[in-house]
Structure 1
Amino acid sequence: MESREHLIAWLNDAYAMEQALEETLERHAKDAEGDDPEVHDRITRHIEETRGQAQTVRGCIESLGGQVSGAKSSFANMFGAMQGMANKPLKDTMVKNALADYAAEHFEIASYRALIEGARHLGEDTVADQLTGILRQEEEMARFLEEKLPAAVRDSLAQG
């Protein structure tokens, strides 16, 4: 497999990852609806960002001459398994959701940093610039989750 094909395959993984995370975020937004309106609103906004990110990644794949794969990537399967642990209706649902989302955001950050490096290495600066925009959104969401995690833990413990 040549380098360009590797990058396209990795972008397909990122596309599948974004699609899998959209479903998870929708569940987490619903979980937060009555408990924390600020978290609900931010997750809802991130769902829209995630949809846009998927479309950006699709555009990057197509601009490189690739096609979007319909198959779920191993990343998407991993996220599905990770999210399954966090979706039990317990008093600590918000904490588990926050942990899963925080981990997912950092995985996305690492993935996009690698993709940006790959695109730059291949001279695909336009693709790298588009992915950098996604990276910034993921970093912003990770910071938000990091700020909200302590309160989620305290609230869960206060519920007994």
Structure 2
Amino acid sequence: MTTKTVKDLFIHSLSDIYSAEKQMTKSLPQMARAATNEELSAAFMTHLEETQGQIERIDQLVEGAGIRLKRVKCVAMEGLVEEGREEIEEIERGPVLDTALIAAAQKAEHYEIASYGSLIALAKQLGENDAVRLLGETLKEEKATDEKLSLLAEQKLAAEALGK
């Protein structure tokens, strides 16, 4: 099906972020295992729980709006996940890898933040008020996770990575 309308674009974008979130449910446990900093590992596991809730919100939105998602694979998230996986394989476990994991996670968060922002704008155009609310909840969580990762990097890992 080609994208011809704002509704088509909304459905495609929602299908794409659904795929991205599903990919994150597989990536976050790997990142948590690779992290040596306990707070970072815990942050990844906390975000895994949030991500599962975000998927449930999309399911709720789809059901409420009578939408059928497309079977698509988010290639952007696939690339971000692969980049993180390569860093896990190439960088020795420790503070430098932890710092790389934060950077990889923040790249994914920024992609999700941009996607949810766009979805909210589309939902507003379509008058999908429940979708705006549900997507807004997820956007807040994504921004909060990004902020937590920034604080962790600044307060703990920067000093560890520099050997201080």
TM score, norm. by length of structure 1: 0.88
- The 1:20/1:46 distance shift into structure 2, 3 A limit, reads same
Cα distance, 1:82 vs. partner?
2.6
The CA distance in 1 between the partners of 2:31 and 2:56, in whole Å, is 22
Number of aligned residue pairs: 157
Task: Give deviations 1:66-122, integer Å, cap 9, x for gaps.
Answer: 223343122332223332332224142111100001111111111111111110111
Moved more, 7-16 or 150-159: 150-159
The CA distance in 2 between the partners of 1:4 and 1:117, in whole Å, is 12
| Structure 1 vs Structure 2 CA RMSD | 1.8
Q: Report the equivalent of 2:48.
A: 47
The CA distance in 2 between the partners of 1:118 and 1:86, in whole Å, is 35
Moved more, 92-101 or 81-90: 81-90
Moved more, 129-138 or 83-92: 83-92
Give the secondary structure class of the aligned counterpart of 2:69. Answer: coil
- The 1:66/1:114 distance shift into structure 2, 3 A limit, reads same
Letter of the 2:163 counterpart: A
Unaligned runs of 5+ in 1: none
Letter of the 1:54 counterpart: I
Task: Give deviations 1:109-158, integer Å, cap 9, x for gaps.
Answer: 11111111110111001101000000111111001000011332321231
Q: Quick check: 1:141 aligned with 2:142? A: no
- The 1:61/1:74 distance shift into structure 2, 3 A limit, reads farther
The CA distance in 2 between the partners of 1:119 and 1:70, in whole Å, is 20
Letter of the 1:41 counterpart: A
The answer (yes or no) to whether the contact 1:7–1:118 under 8 Å persists in 2 is yes
Q: Report the equivalent of 2:101.
A: 97
The CA distance in 2 between the partners of 1:13 and 1:23, in whole Å, is 16
The CA distance in 1 between the partners of 2:55 and 2:47, in whole Å, is 12
Give the secondary structure class of the aligned counterpart of 1:158. Answer: coil
Unaligned runs of 5+ in 2: none
TM score, norm. by length of structure 2: 0.86
Alignment of 1:84-123 (within 5 A): 84-88=85-89, 89-90=91-92, 91=94, 92-123=96-127
Q: Report the equivalent of 1:153.
A: 158
- Aligned residues with identical type, % of pairs: 24
Letter of the 2:77 counterpart: A
Task: Give deviations 1:35-67, integer Å, cap 9, x for gaps.
Answer: 322222222111010011012112223333322
Q: Quick check: 1:65 aligned with 2:66? A: yes
